[in-house]
Amino acid sequence: MKTAIVIGSGIAGLASAIRLQNKGFKTIVLEKNNYLGGKLTQIQLGEYRFDAGPSLFTLPELIEELFAISNKNINDYFHYEKCDISCNYFFSDKTKISFYSNENQLKNEIESKLNIPFKPLKNYLINAAYKYNSTKEIFLEKSLHKPQTYFSYPIIKCIKSIPKLDLFKTLNETNSNTLNHPKLIQIFNRYATYNGSSPYKASGILSLIPHLELNKGSFFPKNGMHSITESLTKLAKDLGVEFNLNTSVNEVIKENNIIKEVITDKGNYKADVVICNADIKAAYNSFLSKFKKPTKILQQERSSSGIIFYWGINKTFKELDLHNILFSENYEDEFKHIFDLKTSYLDPTVYINITSKKSIRDAPNECENWFVMINVPSNENQNWDKIIKESRKNIIHKINSILGIDIEKHIVEEDYLDPRRIEFRTSSAGGALYGSSSNSRNAAFFRHPNFSSLKNLFFVGGSVHPGGGIPLCLNSAKISCNMID
């Protein structure tokens, strides 16, 4: 039996291990941390449980597929439910807009709260579906770096759709030309942050992202996002995958253009196939340091990072749901601070995720677990201690002014993540959450490919094609594993 080594146990690494084990490999996962899941992990503060990283779950069929190819019943491992509200949006003028999954409810919400017709938004979502369906087979499900991708039927469909894809406009220009209210423009500009980019720089093709959340639906794993990691780990172990924690990879040995061995601080592993789920920049600066570096790729602008506060709150708030956004008054200025000035913004957009709204075990009775995040630049040796202190003050002011409360007196547990901690824990260069940003029209083509010049070295995860976020990471695993016999 041939041996496959997976370096890193983020969601793309777990999915790769499952796929390779199903292909007949003896699969071994090497993880430097003492836990699995990469960013998709959890923390416990007293009686409060928090998902540490990703909080939005879309395209559950990509998870279901892993159980299907393994001939396992997903109901024995994993459960999820569809959300009635994808997100609540709060503005400084006290307007609150709930994006319902039901179209009639959403129509009533938009028309009553904004006093505008619903049809432009409906057309926008129809176009988002068109953009997604026209491009997914090329941009999301295949390698952009293989010639055969461009000699297939889907490329014809994609080429025909180019005039309607808004490739040569920014996302803000696309939204401003299509949507009929400044608040809607701001809501849909937010989707650039789903891959750590600015809507004032990133391509309008990103307007396809709302299709996943608003047309296909957002979902909640019944035991929190970390249950994705738990269920895939259990599936992998049931299939026979071996996991080695606290194991750092020091070097990868090649002979005649083929990987032969993986050297770790715990011993050496012979390898017929190697999947790298580590951040691409960190990998080339460490265990791939003797390999030729893709310099232009590694020099690309990093995506945004985040400052996250985990707050145990001794009160409940009926006006909040699972996902909540408190918007900045000047969105464009906020992104200038993040990507141009490389600092946080005085009036940040605040995201609050409260899983105890869906999973009551995540907080004590009549309490809530608040995951509170703002977007910030990746780490370039800024004075993060000062930025964190100022950001906490600004976040609390924002929450208090919009919700009309004094939130600090309700905080009974607290911890935080910042770009430095993210970089240390996940080896993401600069603590960037999505690898490189998409702040250019050609960003998709300049992400690192899923294969290498070596016959048996492949790459998966958020820092390579097709990008960051759970669905794209799962697709990266599928793309890479489909190249492996």
Output the domain CATH number for residue 10.
Answer: 3.50.50.60
Half-sphere exposure of 159 (CA within 13 A, CB side): 8
When pLDDT is cut at 50, 70 and 90, the band that residue 138 belongs to is: confident
Of 385, 485, 469, 454, which is closest to residue 195 (Cα–Cα)?
469
| pLDDT classification of 231: cutoffs 50, 70, 90 | very high
State pLDDT tens for residues 178-206. 999 999 999 999 999 999 999 999 999 99
Tell me, what CATH number does 133's domain have?
1.10.405
The answer to whether residues 212 and 106 belong to one domain is yes
Average confidence (pLDDT) over 104-111: 98
Question: For residue 328, what pLDDT is reported?
Answer: 97
- pLDDT at 58 (0 to 100): 97
36 pLDDT more than 60: yes
Write out the residue range of the structural domain in which residue 472 sits: 3-44+55-81+223-300+431-482
Asked whether residue 285 carries a pLDDT value surpassing 80, the answer given is: yes
Average pLDDT of the chain, as a whole number: 94
Q: What share of the chain in percent tops pLDDT 90?
A: 86
What pLDDT sits at residue 196? Answer: 96
341 inside domain? no
In-domain check, residue 415: no
pLDDT tens for residues 90-99?
A: 999 999 999 9
User: Do 276 and 256 share a structural domain?
Assistant: yes
Instruction: Enter the pTM of the model.
Output: 0.95
Between 146 and 17, name the one with better pLDDT. 17
Beta-carbon count within 10 A of 178 CB: 18
Whether 463 contacts 438, CB under 8 Å: no
Q: Among 169, 194, 216, identify where a domain stops.
A: 216
> Last residue of a domain, which of 157, 191, 216?
216
- pLDDT tens, 6-18? 999 999 999 999 9
Residue 2, pLDDT score: 96
Instruction: Please name the residues in contact with 44: beta carbons below 8 A apart, sequence gap of 6 or more.
Output: 50
Q: How far is the C-alpha of 51 from the C-alpha of 73, rounded, in Å?
A: 25
Q: How many structural domains is the chain composed of?
A: 2
Question: Of the given ranges (80-94, 222-236, 277-291, 441-455), which has the lowest mean pLDDT?
Answer: 441-455
Whether the pLDDT of residue 157 is over 80: the answer is: no
What pLDDT band is residue 82 in, cutting at 50, 70 and 90? very high
How many angstroms separate the CA atoms of 450 and 477, rounded? 9
Residues 14 and 154 in one domain: no
- For residues 240 and 259, the answer to whether their CB atoms sit within 8 Å is no
